[in-house]
Amino acid sequence: MAFEDYEPVIGLEVHCELKTATKLFCGCPTTFGNEANTQVCPVCLGLPGTLPVMNGKAVEFAVKIGHSLNCNIADYSKMDRKNYYYPDLPKAYQVSQYDKPLNYGGYLDIVTKEGTKRIGVTRAHLEEDAGKLVHAGGKSGRLDSSDYSLADYNRGGIPLVEIVSEPDIRSSEEAHAYLTALKSILLYIDVSDCNMEEGSLRCDANVSIRKKGTEKFGTRTEIKNMNSFKFVKQAIEYEIKRQAAVLDKGERVIQESRLWDVTENKTKSMRSKEEAHDYRYFPEPDLVPIILDKAYVQKLKVELPELPGAKRARFEKDHGLTAYDAGVLTSEQELGQWFEVGAKLTKNPKGFANWMMGDMAAQMKEQEKELQDLKFDQKKLAELVDLVDAETINSKQAKEVFLALFNEGVSPAEVVKSKGMAQVSDPKAIEAAVDKVLADNPNVVADYKSGKQGVIGFLVGKVMQASQGKANPKMVNEIIKKKLDV
C-alpha cells in the first residue's frame, strides 16, 4: 500500500514545568543549572518521615492553564500516588493525579494550511517532576551503554502540569502547530519558561496509523526524548513511515516506547524487559483534596490576559491583517503589544506590520536584539511608514532610513531632511533626466521599439542612478513609457 493510503493518528503529552519560586511540596528553589543536590531538602529527598505540603501558587498556575485551554475545572480534585521504581524518583512513587484531574475536557484551536482546526485536550493535571540521571562510564554516556548512573535531585519535586491531547492530530505539521500554539499560550499566561533545552517543556507523542477511511485505531507507539519542536516533527514523520513499512510487510506494530535518536535521526525501541506497567495508583493519604471555591476559579479566569487566538482574530478584523500576519504578530505577547501601540499611530497598520515582520525582524535576528533592546519606539517607525505612504521617500530610500533608525534611533523625518533624501516627484525634473538617458542610449530605445519591452527596467535604473536614487520610481516608469510609446 502506498504511504499516502495511511492516515496517522497522533496524541501528544506535554509536560510543562511551572515557574513557581519553590517546588510543589517543599520550599526548595526551582532555579535551573545549579550544582547537583544543592536544592534538596528532607521532603524532596523523600527522607523517611517527611510529608508534602501543596504549593498554592502551583494550583493557581494549573487552573490558569486549564482556563486557557478551555477546560472544565474540577469541582473535586485530589492527588494520587503513581508507584514505580526508578532512581530519579526518591519516594519510589510520583505524586500525580489519576481519576480526578484538576482540568479536563478542553480544546486548543490550531492554524493549519487548511484553516483552523480544533484539537481536544483530554486533561491537564498537576504532578511533581523527577530528578535527573547522568548516565556515566561506558563508551558514550548513553543509557544503554553506561556502567553506572548518577542521581541529582535538584529537579525532583518541581511542579509540572501534564497536558494530554485527544488523538485528534493527523500529521507532523499539525503536531508542530499544536505545540507552537500551546507554548504561545503558556508564555502568554506566564506560568512557564517553556524552555525545551532546559527541560521546562517536554513532549511525548503517541503515534499510530490506520488505513484511510477506517475508524479503528492502529497499535500505537510512544515516542520519547524529543527535546525540540523540530525533533518532534522529524520523529513523528519517521515513525509514520516506519509503521507503514511494518504494515506493508504484513507485520504488526508492537506497542512499545521508542526513543528519538538525534544522531541517527530515527526512533529506537527502548527494549526494556517489558514488564507490564502496574502503577498501583491510589489516593495520596498525605494530602487532602482540592475543592476550589467557585469564585476563586472564576477570578483566575477573569484575570487571564487576552490569549493568542482571540488576539489573532481581533488583529485580522481591526487592523486588516491577513491570518498569517496576525498569527506571526500574536505568536509572542510582547510582539503583539508592540504592534498594537504602533497600529494606533499610523493610518496604515498593515504597512507597520510589514516593517515589523520584514526589515525589523531581519535586523533583530541579525543583531540578536530583543524588543526591549530597540533604540526606537513605535512612533518613529510609524513616521517612516507615513513618509513612504506620502511618497516623500521611495522604498529604496526607506530601507536606508530604516537602517539609520534601527542603528542610531534617529527620527526618519530628520534622516530624510539631513541627508536631503526627499524623493524627487517634480515631473519636469524627471522628464529632463529621462530625455538625457534616452538620448544617451539609442540602442536600448531601438530594442524597446522592436518589442523587447523588458529593457525598460534598465532605463529606469539609469534615471534613478542619475537622480542619486531620489527620483520617484513610479513616475520615472510612467514618463519613460509615455515617451517611448508615442
Partner 1 sequence: MELYQKTIHEIAADLKAKKVSSVELTKATMAHLKAVEPKVQSFITVTEEVALAQAAEADKRLASGSNITPLTGVPLGIKDLLCTKGVQTTCASKMLEGFKPPYNATVVERLNAAGAIMVGKTNMDEFAMGSSTESSYYMKTKNPWNLSCVPGGSSGGSASCVSADQAFASLGSDTGGSIRQPAALCGIVGLKPTYGRVSRYGLIAFASSLDQIGPMTKDVEDCALMMNVIAGHDEKDSTSANVAVPDYTTEMKKSIKGLKIGIPKEFFPEGMNPEVTEATKKAIDQLKSLGAEVHEISLPHSPYSLAAYYVLAPSEASSNLARYDGVRYGLRVPGENIVEMYSKTRAAGFGPEVKRRIMLGTYALSSGYYDAYYLKALKVRRLIKQDYDKAFEKVDIIVTPTVPNPAFKFGEKTDNPLTMYLEDVFTISINIAGVPGLSLPCGLSKTGLPIGLQMIGKPFDEATLLKAAYAYEQSTDWHKRKPSLKEN
Partner 2 sequence: MALSEKDVQYVAKLARLEVTEQEVAKYTQQLGNILGYIEEMGKLDTSNVEPLTHPLDMKNVFREDVVVPSLTQTEVLSNGPEVQSGHFKVPKIM
φ, ψ for residue 230, nearest 5 deg: -60, -45
Binding mask 80-119 for partner 2 (x = CB under 8 A): -----x-x--------------------------------
Residue 46 binds which entry of partner 2, Mg ion, partner 1, none, CB below 5-8 Å type-dependent: partner 1
Of residues 27-46, those binding Zn ion (CB under 5 A): 28, 41, 43-44
Residue 153 binds which entry of partner 2, Zn ion, Mg ion, none, CB below 5-8 Å type-dependent: partner 2
Stretch that binds partner 2, among 50-58, 171-179, 396-404, 447-455 (CB under 8 A): 50-58
297 binds partner 2 (CB under 8 A): no
Cβ atoms of 186 and 66 closer than 8 Å: no
* Count of alpha carbons within 13 angstroms of residue 101, beta-carbon side: 22
Residues 9, 288: Cα–Cα separation, whole Å: 38
Of residues 117-136, those binding partner 2 (CB under 8 A): 133-135
Using the minimum distance from each CB to partner 1, give the nearer residue, 287 or 335: 287
Residue 42 binds which entry of Mg ion, partner 1, Zn ion, none, CB below 5-8 Å type-dependent: partner 1
Q: Which of 96, 97, 123, 98 is nearest to 108 (CA)?
A: 123
Residues 384, 363: Cα–Cα separation, whole Å: 16
Residues 470, 251: Cα–Cα separation, whole Å: 71
Residues 439, 459: Cα–Cα separation, whole Å: 11
Q: How far is the CB of 256 from Mg ion (least distance, A)?
A: 18
Q: How far is the CB of 283 from partner 2 (least distance, A)?
A: 4
Binding mask 135-174 for Mg ion (x = CB under 5 A): ---------------------------x------------
Residue 115 binds which entry of partner 2, partner 1, Mg ion, none, CB below 5-8 Å type-dependent: none
Cβ atoms of 110 and 177 closer than 8 Å: yes
Q: How far is the CB of 146 from partner 2 (least distance, A)?
A: 6
Q: Which of 442, 424, 433 is nearest to 479 (CA)?
A: 433
Q: How far is the CB of 297 from partner 2 (least distance, A)?
A: 12
Residues 156, 134: Cα–Cα separation, whole Å: 14
Beta bridge partners of 112: 115
Beta bridge partners of 135: 149
Q: How far is the CB of 37 from partner 2 (least distance, A)?
A: 5
Residue 91 binds which entry of partner 1, Zn ion, partner 2, none, CB below 5-8 Å type-dependent: partner 1
Residues 424, 17: Cα–Cα separation, whole Å: 58
Using the minimum distance from each CB to Zn ion, give the nearer residue, 41 or 429: 41
